[in-house]
Amino acid sequence: MKPFIFIGVLIIVFLVVFLFLNGEFVEAPEISVDSFEDCLSAGYPILESYPRQCRMPDGKTFIEDIGNELEKIDLIQVENPRPNQKVSSPLLVKGKARGAWFFEADFPVRLLNSEGELVAAGTATAQSDWMTKEFVLFSAELEFENPETKKGILIFEKDNPSGLPEYDDELIMPVYF
């Protein structure tokens, strides 16, 4: 029985050496990872966090771009679309914003392509009394033709009838077309 085990091990060693010499065990080319999207595409682990994080084997971490949503969460919250969601026309936008975000029950919404060119513009309208410090539901519908670019940004502008820059504010949300 021992000669059969020895012969089996010997065959496995010869196969490994043969495959190695024939180039079957060539190292995979290194993938260039420069962003969260690259890291995700390369199949590296995604951490369960918000925003999502992708961790490389060397410990380098890439964070998903969600715009400035977390900075503005106490002023405006968007239910649809969500950051990095794929959007198409007609785009129904809905969420809630503090009453101070509105003027005369609405505020501007713009959709830009990744080159900063205007794709669509519209007005988000309050669904109830906007003259409050509390959150007020809003909705808007944007119609557009899909741009050539893959990515874009959706901008929710605080309505500022005074025109004074110190009262300007906006929520910026990345989207895909």
In the beta sheet, which residues pair with residue 91? 142
Taking the model in full, what pTM does it have? 0.79
Q: Tell me what percent of the residues of the chain surpass a pLDDT of 70.
A: 83
Q: What is the average pLDDT score of the chain?
A: 90
Rounded to an integer, the average pLDDT of 27-46 is: 84
Q: Could you give the residue ranges of the DSSP H alpha helices within the chain?
A: 2-21, 36-41
User: Which superfamily is assigned to 76-176 in CATH?
Assistant: Immunoglobulins (2.60.40.10)
Residue ranges of domains in the chain:
30-64, 76-176
What is the band of 22 on the pLDDT scale with cuts at 50, 70, 90? Answer: low
pLDDT of amino acid 10: 57
Q: Does the pLDDT at position 2 exceed 80?
A: no
How far, in Å, CA of 58 to CA of 109, rounded? Answer: 41
Per 3-state DSSP, what percentage of the chain is helix, strand, and coil (rounded to 5)?
Answer: 20, 35, 45
Interatomic CA distance for residues 151 and 83, integer angstroms: 11
Task: Compute the average pLDDT of residues 149-174.
Answer: 96
Q: Lowest mean pLDDT of 3-17, 59-73, 90-104, name the range.
A: 3-17
The token pair at 61 is: 């971490």
pLDDT at position 151 over 90: yes
In this structure, the number of other CB atoms found within 10 A of the CB of residue 24 comes to 9
CA angle at residue 72 from 175 to 143, to 5 degrees?
35
Tens digits of per-residue pLDDT, 50-73?
999 999 999 999 999 999 999 999
The pLDDT, as a whole number, for residue 130 is 95
pLDDT at 31: 72
How far is Cα 117 from Cα 35, in angstroms, rounded to an integer? 23
The 3-state DSSP class for residue 96 equals strand
Backbone phi, psi, residue 139, to 5°: -150, 155
